[in-house]
Amino acid sequence: MKAVEVAPKIYCVRANIGSRDLFEGIWPIPHGVSLNSYVVRGEKIALIDLVKDWEHAVDSITEQMASIGVTVSDIDYLIINHMEPDHTGWLAEMRKKNPEMEILCTKKAVPLVAAFYGIEEGVRAVGSGDTLDLGGITLQFEDTPNIHWPETMMTYEPASGTLFSCDGFGAFGQVGEHLFDDQLTEEEHEFFARETERYYANIVSTFSGFVEKGIRKLSSLEIRMIAPSHGVIWRKDPKKIIDHYQKLASYKIGPAEQEVTIVWSSMYGNTEQLLEHVIAGVASEGIPVHVHRVPQEHVSFVLASAWRSSGIIVGTPTYEYKMFPPMYAVLDIFERSHLLNRKTMRFGSYGWSGGAKKQYDEFLSAMKWDCIGAVEYQGAPSQEDKEQAYEMAKELARQVKAWK
């Protein structure tokens, strides 16, 4: 692959990571992920965001840099928008190869550069309003804390109106030859919309308030292109990805989409017996229903579908006087992601005492969910339980439709 010119004096160099590893050690990436870095070439040369040496990512970006005649030792400035190792992992090695290179990052990132990579010299703190004149092209910096870590910033190039947004406005999914939004087919647009949503739910959702704040702050810039460090570059319609992020951030407190996510588990089929009635109840109101079984399905996908759904139905048996453990893990992730204010109901079977309810109720109050009721029964469900579950799910769907 060659470096791709994205604007005069600005080039994208990137690596596509496959599906073998989990992102952040937790999230599956069946369609991989891209790591994008940017070379900005004035009289001095800056590299914006680095990679970690993951599936030959370093070889990829250095090879692409070579295609425009730039080597690692030619880099005068390394701009670190964000300290997470997917964008800094190779830092110590790079510094060894190029001891003269100055590292620019936010004040909050300076101690992290020392703690993660033992680098204390040649690090300059920059923040909102600061600029870097490369000779013929200038970069400016904007603090955008907590998109994704507290030390995060974005970099802006005014002549082309390019915003180097790092994790912000990013997506999962490998990026092929079609690097720009205007090159994507309709199918590829749909693919990246889905990969954006799962990336957002998995990586960014906890920080939705900061995303909203960041978007407000960035509105003072004339953004003509969004160049993130994961995913495609938005040069035709940067507003599209900003609006998508804005919408995803607003799902935090709801309403989200008029859709219902059902997440269920069952050991011996007793909880499962209600499933079809619950699905039928929601479907009778004509709204989309997403059904996920755990632990069979990874929470990454459950979270993505729950994030976009105004209604969430939880089906879980009791296990050792508590909720079935994989369901607890799912609700714990929901809570960490600040999946607030959903309309919900619960169903499930127990053997002799019950116990799932207590833990569920704790999640209800932590996430401020509005629970319309529960259908819980000993052993197998009766005909009455099935009818009640249908009616309750139907009512939930009605409330989801009415929530605007």
Applying CB under 6 A, the site for ligand FMN has a residue count of: 20
Contact residue for ligand FMN among 318, 337, 344, 388 (CB under 6 A): 318
Contact residue for Fe ion among 39, 40, 83, 84 (CB under 5 A): 84
Contact residue for Fe ion among 4, 32, 34, 86 (CB under 5 A): 86
Applying CB under 5 A, the site for Fe ion has a residue count of: 4
Provide CB contacts within 8 A for 23, sequence distance 6+: 29, 33, 86, 172, 202, 203
Contact residue for ligand FMN among 8, 111, 127, 269 (CB under 6 A): 269
Contact residue for Fe ion among 14, 52, 148, 398 (CB under 5 A): 148
Place of tokens 């964008």: 87
Stated length of the chain = 404
- Tokens found for residue 210: 């900061």
Q: How far is the CB of 360 from ligand FMN (least distance, A)?
A: 14
Residue 379 binds ligand FMN, judged by CB under 6 A = yes
Residue 354 binds ligand FMN, judged by CB under 6 A = yes
Provide the b/e sequence for 281-311 (b: ≥16 CB within 10 Å).
bbeebebebbbbbbeeebbbbbbbbbbbbbb
Helix (H), strand (E) at residue 58: helix 57-66
Residue 385 binds Fe ion, judged by CB under 5 A = no
Residue 360 binds ligand FMN, judged by CB under 6 A = no
Residue 359 binds ligand FMN, judged by CB under 6 A = no
- Cα–Cα distance for residue pair 315/147, rounded to 1 Å: 33
For ligand FMN, which stretch binds (CB under 6 A), given 106-114, 246-254, 266-274, 277-285? 266-274
For ligand FMN, which stretch binds (CB under 6 A), given 25-33, 37-45, 75-83, 311-319? 311-319
Residue 325 binds ligand FMN, judged by CB under 6 A = no
| Residue 84 interacts with which of Fe ion, ligand FMN, none, CB < 5 to 8 Å by class | Fe ion
Binding mask 166-205 vs Fe ion (x if CB under 5 A, - otherwise)?
Answer: -x--------------------------------------
Provide the b/e sequence for 53-87 (b: ≥16 CB within 10 Å).
ebbebbebbbebbeeeebebeebbbbbbbbbbebb
CB 104 within 8 A of CB 139: no
3-class state of residue 241 by DSSP: helix
Q: Please give the angle made by the CA atoms of 244, 246 and 250, to the nearest 5 degrees.
A: 115
Q: How far is the CB of 347 from ligand FMN (least distance, A)?
A: 10
Residues binding ligand FMN (CB under 6 A): 266-272, 317-321, 349-355, 379
